[in-house]
Amino acid sequence: MLHTDVAIVGAGPAGMALALMLAARDCRVTLLERQGEEILASPANDGREIALTHKSVRLLQSLGVWQRLKSSEQGPLDSAQVVDGNSPTYLDFDTRGRGPLGFIAPNYAIRRALYDAVREDSNIQLQTNSAVVGTRCEAARRLVQLDSGQDIAAALLVAADSRFSEVRRMAGIGADMRDFGRVAILGAVRTEREHGGIARECFRYGSTLALLPMSDAYTCSAVVTVSASCAEEIMAYGDEAFAAHVQRESAGVLGAVEALGRRHSYPLVAVYAHRFYAERFALVGDAAVGMHPVTAHGFNLGLAGAKSLTNQLHNVTRLYQSVALSRVLSRYQVQHRLESHPIYTGTNRLVDLFTDDRLPAKLLRKAVLRISEHFPPVRRAIVHQLTRH
């Protein structure tokens, strides 16, 4: 039987970041992943561009991860604009010349950089092709059974295995799931005019378009969100039809559009776990809170949760003191709920409002944007949330 301080299930961004944070506190970490190592070492481009706050970038820098990204894999997010319906005006969020609002990096590049850092850390043992089939507490340890027949004894087990976490269910923790009935279709596009580092969110009637600026001044990630019933039709578009759709929905703000490469689709489902911990067990990342991507908080919350759990543990000793560990996990839950629940509920309400095409909702949408436009403290609060260190 393998003995370890902490076993983490899921070598996604949250799981790998948590492993690095704990390893820096001299914890022996076993990171379990059902995929093969070749996939982790060279992750495929999944089309997702991740918006990162300054706080998240500083955290990745402290882990030696951000520095591993190529210059072509990171770019500034200088401001954001929100357009409602067919309005010719927009609500602008910027820092008034005080530096970028945040940063943009491809998901696959972040995953690769995290993997490289994990592989170099002697306190982390990575086991790939390993699926968890059961877990139970026994003699002040959490036992983990793998499909290979191997058993692992850990002082703490952490599930970071996606918003549809199987390990969360094994630990007896349920979750509220919100299926929005919509699908996000992602594809890179080249534009006639420079994007200027501006993220554009266009809430049209019947669909939503986001244009996320990439490191190349003329390239954006186009995110088309439509009802599930229309997704197959959009995915079947050829390059010219998709480019025409993006150009039309963006009102030609960046001129002519050309589609680049493969497109990807993702059903939109939000998840919030009923609890974030059980006996010698905790949830981080999407296993705890799986966000709708419209406000770009998912990855940032995953990092924040991993940091909160690490800070509460302080050192290895607390892992082996049952009462102390229980208090640690309780405080982690309180802290992560305080940070995540307002954002989670607020995001869902925003999605409800801006995807409702009935007349009362349309009028309310316009009112919300007018108030935000003419009430600077609202904009300043949002900018502060994104740029805080």
pLDDT at 377: 45
The residue type at 387: T
* pLDDT (0 to 100) of residue 370: 60
Task: For the chain, give every domain's residue range.
Answer: 2-69+107-177+270-351, 77-102+179-269+364-379
pLDDT single digits (tens) 208-234: 899 999 999 999 999 999 999 999 999
Supply the DSSP symbol for 267. Answer: E
Q: What is the mean pLDDT of residues 308-317?
A: 91
Q: Look up the pTM and report it.
A: 0.91
Q: Does domain 2-69+107-177+270-351 have CATH number 3.20.20.10?
A: no
pLDDT at 371: 55
In DSSP notation, 146-199 reads: ETTS-EEEEEEEEE-S-TT-HHHHHTT--EEEEEEEEEEEEEEEEESS--TTEE
Mean pLDDT of the chain: 89
Q: List pLDDT tens digits, range 142-170.
A: 999 999 999 999 999 999 999 999 999 99
Q: Indicate whether 84 pLDDT > 60.
A: yes
Q: Are residues 83 and 201 in contact, defined by beta-carbon separation less than 8 angstroms?
A: yes
Q: Which residues contact 34 (CB under 8 A, 6 or more apart)?
A: 128, 129, 130, 131
Q: Does 381 score more than 60 pLDDT? A: no
Over residues 237-258, mean pLDDT? 96
Confidence grade of residue 296 (pLDDT, cut at 50, 70, 90):
confident
In this prediction, residue 378 carries a pLDDT of 47
1 or 294, higher pLDDT: 1
Exposed e or buried b per residue across 284-301, where buried means at least 16 C-beta atoms within 10 angstroms of its C-beta: bbbbbbbbbbbbbbbbbb
pLDDT digits (tens, 9 = 90+) for 46-80: 999 999 999 999 999 999 999 999 999 999 999 88
> What is the pLDDT at residue 387?
46
β-bridge mates for residue 30, sequence order: 7, 125
284, 268, 46, 287 alpha-carbon torsion, rounded to 10°: 10
Query: Higher pLDDT residue, 37 or 98?
Result: 37
Least confident of 219-228, 281-290, 298-307, 343-352: 343-352
Evaluate if residue 379 carries a pLDDT over 50.
no
Q: Do 49 and 214 contact (CB within 8 A), yes or no?
A: yes
Question: Where does the pLDDT of residue 364 fall: very low under 50, low under 70, confident under 90, or very high at 90 and above?
Answer: low
CA pair distance 157, 142, nearest whole angstrom: 7
**274 Cβ contact list (under 8 Å, min separation 6):** 173, 174, 175, 176
Q: What is the dihedral of CA 189, 194, 200, 203, to 10 degrees?
A: -60
Q: In the structure encoding, which two tokens stand for residue 284, read together? A: 């981080």
CB 319 within 8 A of CB 27: yes
**Strand 151-159, strand 2-9: pairing:** parallel
CA dist., res. 367 & res. 334, Å (int): 34
- Residue 309 in this model has a pLDDT that exceeds 90: yes
What pLDDT score does 348 carry? 84
**β-pair partners for 17:** none
Contact present, 73 and 104 (Cβ < 8 Å): no
Encode pLDDT of 183-212 as tens digits: 999 999 999 999 999 999 888 877 889 999
Question: What's residue 315's pLDDT?
Answer: 82
The answer to whether the beta carbons of residues 69 and 164 sit under 8 Å apart is no
Instruction: Answer positive or negative: Cα dihedral of 372, 373, 376, 381.
Output: positive
11, amino acid identity: A
Give dist(CA 225, CA 223) in Å, integer: 6
SS3 state of residue 252? coil
Starting at the earlier edge strand, list the strands of the sheet with 79-84: 91-94, 79-84, 198-203, 208-213, 219-227, 175-191, 257-273, 289-290
Lowest-confidence pick of 17-21, 249-253, 385-389: 385-389
Architecture of domain 77-102+179-269+364-379: 2-Layer Sandwich (3.30)
Q: What is the pLDDT of residues 124-139, one digit of tens each?
A: 999 999 999 999 999 8
What is the mean pLDDT of the segment spanning 340-353?
84
d(CA 321, CA 179): 40
Q: Residue range 94-123: average pLDDT? A: 90
Which is higher by pLDDT, 293 or 388?
A: 293
Per-residue pLDDT, 48: 94
The residue ranking higher by pLDDT, 11 or 93, is: 11
